[in-house]
Structure 1
Amino acid sequence: MIRENLAELAAFATVAEERSFTRAASRLGISQSALSHSIRGLEKRLGVQLLARTTRSVSATAAGADLLRELAPALERIRGAVAETMQQRERPAGRIRLIIPRTATEMVILPKLAAFARAYPEIVLEVTSSNDPVDLVEGEYDAGVQLGEFIQRDMIAVRVTKEMRLAVVGSPAYFESNPVPKRPQDLKDHACIGFRFSKSLYRWEFEKGRKALTVSPQGPVSFDDPDLVIQAVLDGVGIGTAMEETLKGLIAKGRLVQVLRDWCPPFPGYFLYYPSRRNQPAALASLIATLRLTD
C-alpha cells in the first residue's frame, strides 16, 4: 500500500505546500483534474479528509497537517537519495565492487591504482580476489576481470592486457636432480604442483603447430593461490605454472628455469567485463577508460 500511495502522498504534500491545486498541478506537470482525482482517491483510502477546499483557497485539515509533518521530511530524504543516485550518471563517484583474480589485480589494477585514485578521489574500489568465474549480477558485483575464455557471452568485455603466455618453470635445484622436460609427455615423470581453479585442478594445455594436448598435473601438493604455487617451485618442490609476465624477473635472475616454452603459445589475456552499457554510472565508465588497453 505504501508503494502504491507514494506518488499520491507526494502530490498531497505539494498541494498543501502550494495551497493551490492549480499551482501544484503546474509544479507536478499534470492536469488539475488528474491531481484532484488523485487526492480524492488518497482521502478515500485513508478514510479522512486531508485538504479543506473552497472556491478561493486550499489548506490542510488537522489530519492533513499531522500527516504532512511526518511526510515532508521523509519525502525530502527520498528526493535527496534520488538526486544522489542520478548524479552517479554524471559525476565519477561512489563505490565500485570488483571481482578479480589476484594475478590480474597485480597486473591490471595495482599499476594504475595511484593515478586512478588521484584522478577520481570520490570513487572507492572494493576489490574481491577470486580465481573462479562468477555471475556478476548474482554476486552483486559491478564488474570483474577474467581471462576471455571464462567470460559469459552476454557480458560486455574490454581488453585490459596484451596477449599472455603460460610459463612452465622449475628451480635450478630441482633440475639438478631431475631431467629437463623436452615434451609435455615428459611431465609424467616429474612432481607437478597443481593449481586449483573453479574448484577443480587446472589442466595444463599445450600446443605446438597442429599438435595440442592436455596434461593433468600429478604431484605432492596443489594450491588455489598462484603465488603459493611459485613459492613451492622456488623451494624445489617441483614444476609449476604461472603467467609468464609475472615471472620474468625471477627467470631473468636465474631463480627459475623456464621449460617447454615452444609448447606454450600466447593467448588473449585479461578482460574487464560487466553486464550492460545502458545507464552506465560515471564511476564505472571512468574505470573502464583507465584500464582499457589502448596500444
Structure 2
Amino acid sequence: MGSTADPFFGLSTFLAVAEAEGFTAAAARLGVSPAAVGQTVKALEARLGAPLFIRTTRRVRLTEAGAALLARIRPAAAEIATAVDAVGAAGQEPTGLLRLTAPRMAVPLVIDPVVPALRRACPKLSVEVAVEDAAVDLLERGFDAGIRIGEYIERDMVAVRLTRDIAWALVGSPAYLAAHGRPESLEDLARHDAIRYRFPTSGAIYRWEFEREGRSVSVDPPGGVIVNDGALLVSFACAGLGLSYVADIAVDAELRAGLLERVLAPLLPKGPGLFLYFPQRAQAQPKLRALIDVAKRVLRPVR
C-alpha cells in the first residue's frame, strides 16, 4: 500500500476522491478497487490526525481540514502534472481531439484560415470548433482552448495574441444614414435606432461605451432590435435596420466595400484584439503547441 514515511503517500488518491466526490468514481479513475481507495484515505487521515471526508450513503464531501488540504495541494499537483507533461510531450506528434470555443467574430478572422492549415500540418489531429458568443468555462465544458477579446479573458489563463488591437466602431448603412442623418454627438443617439446586443450568459443588454473629454461615458440608446449574436449586429446594420456597435475588425470588409460607414469615430475607445487562451498546465500539450505555432505562422501578416 505504500510507506507512510513518503510525504506524497495518499495524496493522489485524496485528490481523486475530492474531484470525483466519491470513492467508487475515484477508484475507477485510478484503476483500483474502492476498498483500496478507502484504505489509502484512512491511512492518510491517520497520518494527518484529522478526518478528510464526511461519508454518507448518498455522497462524500470534504471536511474543513480536507478542504484546506485540497486548497494547498491542488495548485502543486497542477505544477507537477505540467512538468511531467512537458517532458512527455517533447517530440510527440499531435494526435487526438482538439476542442476549441470561439465567438462568431473569430470565425473569418482566425478559424477559417487557421483550422485548415492546422489539419494539413497535423493530419492525425482532429479539431472540433464550437462557435458561441457566450462566456465559456473551458474546464467545465471540456475545451482545450478558447478565443476571446483580451479584456474578457480571466487573469489566470495563458493568453496568446492572434490579431491586432481593435477600435470599437459605431456603424450604419449608407441608406440608413441618408434617411435618418448622421449623429454628430452622443445626444443625437436618442433619435436613432440602435441594434442592441444582449450578453448570452448574463442576459444584460450592452451599454455603448464612448470616451469624451477624457472621461468614459456609457449610453443606453433606444432600439427596436435586440440580438445575442455578433454576426447579426453586422448583417442587420448592412440591411439598414439601425446603428450597430461592433469591433472594427469585425466589419473591416463591409467598411472597405462601402456597405457600412463609421459615425462618431473620435469618441470610440480602443481595446485589445483577439487572443487564444487556455489553462497554464495545458500549454505543454503537443496539440496545443501545434495550434499556437500554426496560428502564429498563418496570422502573422494580419497581426
Q: TM-score under structure 1 normalisation?
A: 0.67
1:133 maps to 135
2:240 maps to 236
Count of residues paired in the alignment: 217
Distance 2:93 2:164 in 1: 30
Deviation at 1:144, TM superposition (A): 0.6
Alpha-carbon distance change, 139 to 88 in structure 1, aligned in 2, over 3 angstroms: farther
1:274 maps to 278
2:121 maps to 119
Distance 1:279 1:161 in 2: 20
- 1:265 matches 2:269: yes
Identical-pair percentage: 35
- 1:288 matches 2:292: yes
Give the 5 Å matches for 1:81-160.
90-160=92-162
Deviations 1:158-216 (A, max 9, x none): 11111111221111221222121112232111110011223221221112451321112
1:219 maps to 223
Q: Is the 8 A contact 1:89 1:279 kept in 2?
A: no
Unpaired segments of 5 or more residues in structure 1? 9-85
Aligned AA (1:260): L
SS of equivalent to 2:32: helix
Distance 1:107 1:278 in 2: 24
2:50 maps to none
SS of equivalent to 1:201: coil
Deviations 1:95-134 (A, max 9, x none): 1111110111221121223222211111111111111222
Q: Is the 8 A contact 1:158 1:273 kept in 2?
A: yes
Out of 246, 249, 252, the residue aligned to residue 245 of structure 1 is: 249
Aligned AA (2:133): N
Distance 1:160 1:253 in 2: 24
Out of 20, 32, 38, the residue aligned to residue 4 of structure 1 is: 32
Deviation at 1:249, TM superposition (A): 2.7
Q: Is the 8 A contact 2:144 2:282 kept in 1?
A: no
Q: Is the 8 A contact 1:88 1:283 kept in 2?
A: no
Aligned AA (1:93): T
Deviations 1:229-249 (A, max 9, x none): 222222221111222123223
Distance 2:293 2:106 in 1: 17
